[in-house]
Amino acid sequence: MIDELPEPTPDLDSQPFWDGLAAGELRLQCCTRCGTLRWPARAICDRCASFDAEWVACSGRGVVSSWIRTHQVFAPAFRDRVPYVVVRIALEERPGIRMIGGWQGGRDPVVGEAVVARFAPRPGGSVVLDWAPDSDEAGAAKSNASGAPTAD
């Protein structure tokens, strides 16, 4: 049906990432030679050019580095969902990794605020990555009177 939400299309490199989301974990490739996390998944390390890697569970924590509100209906399945927010997250383990995901904040995100991964099941059976404010950090964020984002 044309109004169904699009399902992920895992490939050989990304299948473990999608399996991780289905298991409630944010898993990334980690180079077994130099320890660098890789995103998106790929065959070769961007730091040392090694082909060797393993999949590791990450904390699922990060900070908002940017966000947008989408008003345009790019696919019929999103017709009743606009406007919606998409966030770009800098991961705690490697802030240079920026991941895109949906937003479950119930309000606008704030650049620099702490967030946690949320695993959002789709009607078709897959699980996609969303993000939500980190409730453990809520008190700390309120005490930041300037509201300014912190440096990576």
Residues in the chain: 152
| Residue 36 within binding range of Zn ion, rule CB under 5 A | yes
Q: How many Å apart are CA 109 and CA 152, to the nearest integer? A: 17
* Listed ranges 45-53, 89-97, 111-119, 135-143: which one lies at the site for Zn ion (CB under 5 A): 45-53
The residue from 26, 28, 45, 115 that contacts Zn ion (CB under 5 A) is 45
| Residue 37 within binding range of Zn ion, rule CB under 5 A | no
Q: How many Å apart are CA 127 and CA 123, to the nearest integer? A: 9
| Residue 47 within binding range of Zn ion, rule CB under 5 A | yes
Strand 98-103 relative to strand 127-133, pairing: parallel
- Closest to Zn ion by CB, 36 vs 126, is 36
Token code pair at residue 12: 């050989």
| Residue 48 within binding range of Zn ion, rule CB under 5 A | yes
| Residue 99 within binding range of Zn ion, rule CB under 5 A | no
Q: How many Å apart are CA 113 and CA 119, to the nearest integer? A: 19
Question: Which residues contact Zn ion by CB under 5 A?
Answer: 31, 33-34, 36, 45, 47-48, 50
